[in-house]
Homo-oligomer: A and B are copies of this chain.
Amino acid sequence: MATRAPRRPAAPRPKRQRRSAEEAHEQILDAADKRLGEAGPRGIRLQEIAADVGVSHPTILHHFGSRQGLVEAVVTRSLAGLRDKIVEVLSERALDAGEGAELVRLVSTTLGDRGHARLMAWLSLEGRPAEDPAKLLRGLGLAMHARRVAETGTPAPVEDTQLLVLLVSLALFGEGVLGDVMFESAGLGNDPTARDRFHEWMVRLIEQHLHGEGLVDAPKPAPPTGKAARRRSRGK
């Protein structure tokens, strides 16, 4: 191959905005984060993001090494943001009774607003489980259980509380992903109060369970009693 010809004399076009490396990082991450929320990891395209920021796409490569590097960075940042937000919400309203609905609502909006639930879904779908924020569940479950035992004298099994936390988590996650479609499909209107009603109802259900435990037939001791349901055919 012939050696590349030298660039053309070049017309005088000296108008470059030079940011600090940090600034550039942040601006690029912000733009990428937006795309991430809208179209998922695969929606992160260098050219688009470059256009959003107002730079050329090699600039992004320069700062993040590769597309993958950018994806890692933005995913990590977003996940960290979610975790911090959740921690903040949980510690602020430190599991105060009576504030349950508010807490649920806050977590719901946290998962929904910035597309955090969507991000978790995407990561999971693409085979990269977002364990980071999920790690919170264990701690949350234990904390709730401690409070529960202290408050009501009930010596409920830990797993009961953990399952409760799991249920709410999964439901809020599902709400964050499927969102309005499910509300409408379920027969609730698509009016904006539907979510609030759902949250308040869920909290009442929880309260009812926490205080009413015992009127259930089988208190569920612990170990795998699996009486019915033995043949499982789950693919994985």
**How many angstroms from the CA of A221 to the CA of B192 in the assembled complex?**
18
Shortest Cβ distance from A191 into B: residue = B224
**How many angstroms from the CA of A141 to the CA of B185 in the assembled complex?**
10
The distance from the CB of A168 to the nearest CB of chain B, in whole angstroms, is 9
Binary contact readout A147-179 vs B (1 if CB under 8 angstroms, 0 otherwise): 000000000001110110111011111110111
- List A120-140 residues whose CB lies under 8 Å from chain B: 120-122, 124-126, 129-131, 134-138
- Do B216 and A178 have beta carbons less than 8 Å apart? no
Contacts of A167 in B (CB 8 A): 167, 171, 198, 202, 205
The distance from the CB of A114 to the nearest CB of chain B, in whole angstroms, is 8
The distance from the CB of A89 to the nearest CB of chain B, in whole angstroms, is 13
Given known A-B contacts A177-B177, A215-B208, A182 and B220 have beta carbons under 8 A apart: no
**How many angstroms from the CA of A228 to the CA of B103 in the assembled complex?**
11
- List A208-230 residues whose CB lies under 8 Å from chain B: 208-209, 212, 215-218, 220, 224, 226, 228-229
The distance from the CB of A69 to the nearest CB of chain B, in whole angstroms, is 21
The distance from the CB of A86 to the nearest CB of chain B, in whole angstroms, is 13
The distance from the CB of A163 to the nearest CB of chain B, in whole angstroms, is 5
**How many angstroms from the CA of A187 to the CA of B204 in the assembled complex?**
24
**How many angstroms from the CA of A220 to the CA of B226 in the assembled complex?**
36
- Do B170 and A174 have beta carbons less than 8 Å apart? yes
**How many angstroms from the CA of A232 to the CA of B199 in the assembled complex?**
13
28 cross-chain CB contacts under 8 A: A39-B126, A101-B229, A112-B234, A120-B178, A125-B177, A129-B181, A136-B185, A138-B185, A138-B186, A141-B187, A158-B187, A159-B188, A160-B201, A162-B186, A163-B202, A166-B182, A166-B183, A166-B188, A167-B198, A167-B202, A170-B171, A173-B177, A174-B177, A196-B229, A199-B229, A201-B220, A204-B220, A208-B212
